[in-house]
Each structure stands twice: as structure tokens, then as C-alpha cells.
A and B are shown apart, each in its own frame.
Chain A
């Protein structure tokens, strides 16, 4: 049969296994050492970041190079709320995410009319401008940054639960979102913005929603980062390395799929752990992987593993019509 077999059972299985793994991870504090727990927490944070970026780029088609700004905003706002208002950690955590979402919508809204390369670079611009601003702003401690109040800092187990719940929550939200109308609109805008208009979809509101959700999750990840670092500076909170990591995870794992970024996150963590001593090599390897992935497997590992060719490749292939034979 010539037609593409649908996303094979193999992929659904991968999804189920992934979910199972995610739930099992919840048992971690009971079974692993402190150091291993630390790695797991980091992994969870990476998964959230990767999924957040994937929502923008993979599902909605918006190539953003500035997501790290949401991480930074989330980290800073949470810290500020803790320091100045003394709110409980949970509340501060969520406010951080909300602030990042608001920030994202406001700063990205005017950028949406820009195409491809211009859009990408202007997101980078927003991120850089913000970090320059932060370096000069005394209210947030300028270069010295902020220190979280000791009373508010959670234990490693506490951090774990925050991270785990965030990851699960975001996964659930995504899974749910993709099944609702909004999820359909995301993909329609990604696949063909003009055609989406012909069926009554307003691309602008769709993009705003995508940024809002993505920035919220990234902001929460920022909060997690702040919990880990305890003391945040513009350099660490707005680091472009975060962006690179997101890119690497999603490109290698698979853009536009639910589990792809998670796989990419696992690979990245493994790589970082192995190469802990060799920071330079680690960075270089990331860059090389990124370049290689884009050359060889634009669909990432998920695309390679899938048992069918991606629908996008199919669409571009030349096909002989079924009603005519090559020989008369």
C-alpha cells in the first residue's frame, strides 16, 4: 500500500512509556542519593524548558532565540516577591511564572508580524536588551543580583517536588491543549498561516496564546533555577546557554512532538554528566550536534525512530498519479 501508515503504534507506545517514566520518577527521593536527586531535578527543569520552547517552535512554528529572557524574568520576579513581600514560596513561584507570561505577551506581540529571520533576531534582541537593563538596574541588585531569603529556600526534596510537579503539570497542560481547539490552531498556524486564515483562525491570538503558555512554563523553570542557585545574577539568569540547551534538546530529540524534547533533555543531561570535567568539550559537542542534527535529521530522533516518513517529507515528494501508468 502506497499511502503512509499513520504514526505507528511504536510512537504511541513511546508516549505511554514516557509518561510512565515521568510518574515513576516521582518515587526518586526515596530511592536515589542526594547527588543523583540533584541530577534528576536538573533533568526535570530541562524537560520543562525544552517542552516550552518546543511549544513555540515545534507546534506553532515560531523560531524564538530569546526564551532565556522568560527564565530570567521568572527567576527574578519570584525572588523579588520573596524578598519584598514575604509571600509563601508556592505563591511566589507561580507569580514568577505569571510575570514571565505577561512579559512575553507584551514584548513579543509587536514582533509577530515579522517573518522568520527578522523574528528570530528580534527575540534575541529582546533578551539581550533585558539583560543589559538588568545589569544596570539597582532595584534588582544590578550586577550583584539577588539572594533568596534563607527561610524560603526549599530542601533538595522540596525542589524535587516543585520540579516534578511542574513538569507533570506542563506535560498535562500540553497534552490537553493539543487536543483542544487551541492546539489545532497552533498546528494550523505552523503548517500554513495563510490557509489558517481561510478557515477563520486569527494567527495573532494564536501566537499570543502560544507565547503566553511557553513563557509561563519557562518562567517556572526560572523559579526552579533560582531555588537551585539561591543567588541569581543577570549573567546566570539570562544566560544564552539556556537558549542553546533548549535548541539542542529539541533539535536532537524531535521538534513538534510531545516526547521528543524529553528525550533530548535526557541525552543532554547524560552528556553533561559525562563531560562534567570538560566544559569546553561539552559546549563544543553541543554545537556540533546542533549543526549535524540540522543537516542530517531535521526531524530529530523522533523522526528517525518513527516507522513512517514524516508527513512533511511525503508532501514534498513527487508522486505519480494513481490514475495513469508510466507506459502507454
Chain B
């Protein structure tokens, strides 16, 4: 029983990471209807960039985000602007998905070539220890994931709800034609959104390195977890995504306690499939057409 509870609680905190994996994905899918299959690889790319930076400059990985995140933003902005916008205007969403698949492959290949398949991890001092309360020990890195997720959720929520950009993005998501009639530059909004998604994925990527480890191929797993969270939490709701991430983490932790650690991912997939089948529009509703 204690074991189960421990798994549940630990998983809950870890869920922050899953939520972080989902914010960028959710934004991009919500605004443009695009499933970014390279999202996980963006995360890992950021993790490797951070890895190199911390190696050279001896920075804390989180601090390195100050540099890495804007770089990812620029990369995302450029990709959307040069490759994806013209596909969206042709209504060719499948082509967009295939393009992101190609990008995913490029990223994985290049990263493997440059960094090899060696498993990497960040080991800042604080991450190695755990904190105990009520008899349950939670790794500090998980607590960090939780905390960062809350902060990022708050920030993104503010951005989407209170700024002009947020209003424009929501308008473009709801009705791109009318958005143009307001003078909104829809393509530029898409660029900014994709860039933001990449920047957010950087945060998730670095935390993956802190809490776990990564190789050039870790991206796919987190893509799927991120997407599971998006479907669970519904689109357009940052809060929903946060809650769904935490929930997924908790369920996964519980499952791992029961079935064993190697089945952790499988639990996620099973839950995900179940949700897709029972509620194709997500638990909180969302885009019903792509």
C-alpha cells in the first residue's frame, strides 16, 4: 500500500515534466491544427545544446536555458515560416505532418552523428538528493519539474489570456479568415506560435536531462507522452494541460508500482489509447477536425 502511494505521489510530481512536454505541442496544435512530430526531438535538441553549453561554460543546466530557449524560438520561427506556412495555406495538413516527420529524422540523425548514442544526463548537486515528507521520498528533480511546470503554466496562461499576441493567436485559431479581417497577420502569428512551442520544449528537454537521461532517440517517447497529455487535457486550456500532465504522471507512477518499472511507458500508451477511443475530442473537448 505504501508502495502504491509512493508511486502515485512521486508520479504526480514527475507529471510536471509531462505537462511541460505538452504545452508547446498543445499551443501549436490548438492554433494551427498541426501535429508537430518533431516536438520531442526539439526537446532533445535543446537538451544537447544545453549539454554542450554547460560543458563549456560550466553553467547550471537551467541557467543555460536563458540562451538555449531563445535559440529554439528562432529555429521554430524559421521552420514555420519557410516550410510549413505554405503547406497550411494549401490546406495540406498531411504534408505538414510528413514534413515534421522529416525534421524529426534529420534531428535524430544529426544529433546521433554529433553526440553519438551515448546516454547523457545532467547532474547538478541538488538533483541527486530527495526530499521526504509524510514518509514518502520524492527525488528533488521531480520536485523541480513540478515547480517549473507550475511557473511555466502560469506564464503561458498569462501570455495566452492577457496579451495582444494571445488574443490574436486565439482569434487565428478560432477563425483565421475573420482574424485577417481584423488586420491580424495570421502567418506571423503562426510563426510566433511555433517558435514559442519550440522554446517551451527547450524547458522540458533540459528537465528531462536533469530528472532522467537522454539519447538522440529519447524524443519519440516524450512526443507521445506530450500528445497523450494534450488529448487528455483538451486544447486551449493551459490549466487543463497542467492537470492532465500531473494526472498522467500519477497514473503512470501507480502503474509502475504495480507492474514494474519497465512497463511504465506501456501504461501511458494504454491510457492514451483508451482516451482516444472513448473521447476522441479529448476529455475537455477541443478541435474536432484536423
Direct contact of A and B (CB under 8 A): yes
Using CB atoms and an 8 Å cutoff, list the residues of chain A in contact with chain B: 63, 65, 110-111, 113-118, 120-122, 124-126, 128-129, 132-133, 135-136, 240, 244, 247, 251, 280, 283-284, 286-288, 290-291, 294-295, 298
Most B C-beta atoms less than 10 A away, residue of A114, A125, A247, A251: A125
| Distance to closest chain B CB from A24 (angstroms) | 33
- Contact at B290–A118, with CB atoms within 8 Å? yes
- Contact at A283–B105, with CB atoms within 8 Å? yes
Interface of A is mostly: helix
| Distance to closest chain B CB from A283 (angstroms) | 4
Chain B residues closer than 8 Å to A283, beta-carbon distance = 105, 109
- Contact at B280–A113, with CB atoms within 8 Å? yes
With contact pairs A132-B266, A136-B262 given, residues A116 and B101 touching in the complex (Cβ less than 8 Å): no
- Complex: A124 Cα to B102 Cα, angstroms: 15
Chain B window 98-124, contacts with chain A (Cβ cutoff 8 Å), 1 for yes, 0 for no: 110111011001101100000000000
Chain B residues closer than 8 Å to A240, beta-carbon distance = 220
Segment at the A interface, from B85-93, B171-179, B198-206: B85-93
| Distance to closest chain A CB from B216 (angstroms) | 12
- Could you name 21 residue pairs across A and B whose Cβ atoms are closer than 8 Å? A65-B101, A115-B289, A115-B290, A117-B33, A117-B93, A121-B37, A128-B269, A129-B270, A132-B265, A132-B269, A136-B266, A240-B220, A280-B113, A283-B105, A283-B109, A294-B92, A294-B95, A295-B86, A295-B87, A295-B95, A298-B92
Chain A residues closer than 8 Å to B103, beta-carbon distance = 287, 291
- Contact at B262–A290, with CB atoms within 8 Å? no
Interface assignment of B190: CB less than 8 Å from any CB of chain A: no
Interface assignment of B74: CB less than 8 Å from any CB of chain A: no
- Contact at A287–B86, with CB atoms within 8 Å? no
Chain B residues closer than 8 Å to A295, beta-carbon distance = 83, 86-87, 95, 99
- Contact at B99–A129, with CB atoms within 8 Å? no
- Contact at A125–B290, with CB atoms within 8 Å? no
Residues 194-231 (chain B) with a chain A CB within 8 angstroms: 220-221, 224, 227, 231
- Contact at B280–A129, with CB atoms within 8 Å? no
| Distance to closest chain B CB from A194 (angstroms) | 12
- Contact at A294–B87, with CB atoms within 8 Å? yes
Interface assignment of B43: CB less than 8 Å from any CB of chain A: no
- Contact at A125–B273, with CB atoms within 8 Å? yes
Interface assignment of B263: CB less than 8 Å from any CB of chain A: yes
